[in-house]
Structure 1
């Protein structure tokens, strides 16, 4: 079985179980091409991240006080609040506030009912590094989803 990183290396074997490439995103994972439980598009994922980031800014500003923007540690406060607002709900419910608003959620690709704390922490930490979500495979999964064995799917048609 190929390791998850090999699908991102040019020339490495990839595609479906029979070695062919093509089809729709999520086909190798047994997901439908459209509708509920299909792979969420990059735009929906980015918009959900933006909503969560704006919520984190607001909460961090409330916690920091009236001079939040002049506080040199404000950026770290925002990152910490965002990390909590992302990791905890994904571990327990499978979705953040932004994901729920946009009709998407994080699903485990194995038989687990929930993502769980360790995988949610790993996934969120990799998102915070910025680059892992940018590099995606043919299923639309970034390095963060590959490492955590998750996929972001639609909850609405």
Structure 2
């Protein structure tokens, strides 16, 4: 038996009950009824990350300029308010819009305000956003019942 430094035991634990499972999907979003490419397909991680960076830089700029008395909390507050209001009403934040993305419910239609609130609260915690499933959805999107797609 080769010594793998305990990775096999840890990997089995991380994979959950039943061990590693194989995806039966040919592409991200197939299970959600999304097309493999083009408009309505699940957005790739690179574009979602770039949209998040744009939104965060914008929040940093606005927060530090308009709300300096709140110091380090200002950008987070601006980011949260912008995400809840814009994603909850229009289906996209500034970064999503710039990169041709939108936040939808899996069966179509933009995210509702409550879903946008849940999504944003989890997004600012960071960890839920970096843990993704086979459909490329972070835990924040799964909890909110949303998916980020191409426009």
- Class of the TM-score when normalised by the shorter of the 2 chains: 0.7 to 0.9
Answering whether residue 104 of structure 2 is matched by residue 107 of structure 1, we say yes
Structure 1: segments with no counterpart, 5+ residues: 1-8, 14-18
Shift of 1:11: 4.3
Normalised to the residue count of structure 1, the TM-score between the two structures is 0.80
Matches of 1:97 and 1:20, distance apart in 2: 33
Instruction: State the structure with more CA Rg.
Output: 2
Aligned length: 135
C-alpha root-mean-square deviation of aligned residues, in Å?
A: 1.8
Q: TM (normalized to structure 2)? A: 0.83
**Structure 1 residue aligned with 2:43:** 40
Structure 1, residues 84-111: CA drift from partner, whole Å, max 9, x if none? Answer: 1111100000000110000011011246
Decide whether aligned partners of structure 1 residues 49 and 20 sit closer, same or farther in structure 2, where only a CA change above 3 A counts.
closer
Gaps of 5+ in 2: 1-13
Query: 1:107-142: per-residue Cα shift (whole Å, max 9, x none)?
Result: 11246x331111100000000000001110000001
Report 1:74-153 matches (<5 A). Answer: 74-110=71-107, 113-153=109-149
